[in-house]
Amino acid sequence: MKLATKIDEIRAQSHAVHRSGAGLGLVPTMGALHEGHLSLVRAARAKSDVVAVSIFVNPTQFGPNEDFTRYPRNLESDCALLEREGVDVVFAPSAEEMYPKAAATWVNVERLSDRLCGKSRPGHFRGVATVVAKLFNIVEPDLAFFGQKDAAQVAVINRMVRDLNMPVQIEVCPIVRETDGLALSSRNAYLNPDERKMALVLHASLQRAQKVFSDGERDASKISSEAKKAFVWQPGARLDYLEIVNPDDLEPVPTINKRSLVAVAAFIGSTRLIDNILLEP
């Protein structure tokens, strides 16, 4: 497995892959890898001849009072995991390498970027779209793999790729969970044992939504108020949002008559976690 830290190095690798006629898959990550990330890597391994994984804690997608500086960083152990998965190349640039001084160009996917996490994290999706566009331009993958865990991110990236005619196919992989239902996240490492128990409230709220939907309820406001009850019983958790939206444009849906996304975000102590499910009529 090769480790590239410079744009020129990863470009040389990618050009060699394309010259050989092989297909290149990219898995963009911020590192602190867990089984969720590795499921993307395995999907990439199954669908592409050559697999590249990027590890970059992207400063532009963090707000001023967010966890950018304390976000977990373990390049060495991440690389060991990726080597075991048969990854061909890791791209782990510095912030200086990715953002030249006085960089002035942003990718802003309008409307979608102001929904769900974009509402509580202004500028977050502008940072995400910009760095993913840059990674696509640098690595030039044929396929790129993202997790359904970040459902709004998937909507933003899909829209960007479509609107800007980017020659890459987006593959979305299912959410990987702990056995008790908690969605895997690098931020779970912040939770103390009490908070780890409290964090189950996100999954519990989604299960309530699924239950009332399966029982026949189609009114989105009724489903979401039922789901939010999980938070009343868990006062240690602070709900940020629980919304039922169209998974493609992230606009709220009043009635569930086609596939709809139930997305939840909550603070457990100072840790902000997200989760979601799709309701399929």
Query: Using the rule CB under 6 A, which residue among 17, 147, 200, 265 binds ligand AMP?
Result: 147
Q: Rounded distance, CA 177 to CA 274, Å?
A: 12
Alpha carbon distances (Å) from 24 to 123, 125, 153, 205: 30, 25, 22, 38
- Does residue number 121 form part of the binding site for ligand AMP (CB under 6 A)? no
Task: Give the closest residue to 261 by CA, choosing from 241, 233, 234.
Answer: 241
**Which of residues 7 and 170 has its CB atom nearest to ligand AMP in the complex?**
170
Query: Using the rule CB under 6 A, which residue among 39, 188, 234, 276 binds ligand AMP?
Result: 39
Query: Using the rule CB under 6 A, which residue among 185, 224, 234, 276 binds ligand AMP?
Result: 185
- Does residue number 40 form part of the binding site for ligand AMP (CB under 6 A)? yes
Q: Rounded distance, CA 119 to CA 15, Å?
A: 39
Sole window of 9-17, 29-37, 162-170, 217-225 interacting with ligand AMP (rule: CB under 6 A): 29-37
- Does residue number 168 form part of the binding site for ligand AMP (CB under 6 A)? no
Residue with tokens 């690798």: 13
Alpha carbon distances (Å) from 56 to 98, 109, 128, 207, 280: 9, 21, 11, 33, 34
Query: Using the rule CB under 6 A, which residue among 146, 190, 213, 231 binds ligand AMP?
Result: 146
Q: Which residue's CB comes closest to ligand AMP?
A: 147
**Which of residues 18 and 47 has its CB atom nearest to ligand AMP in the complex?**
47
Q: Rounded distance, CA 165 to CA 178, Å?
A: 37
> Using N-to-C axis directions, what is the helix angle for 200-214 and 220-232, rounded to 10°?
150
**Which of residues 13 and 186 has its CB atom nearest to ligand AMP in the complex?**
186
CA 133 from centre of chain: 15
- Does residue number 54 form part of the binding site for ligand AMP (CB under 6 A)? no
Query: Using the rule CB under 6 A, which residue among 13, 14, 26, 36 binds ligand AMP?
Result: 36
Q: Which residues bind ligand AMP (CB under 6 A)?
A: 29-30, 36-37, 39-40, 146-147, 149-150, 173, 175-176, 183-186
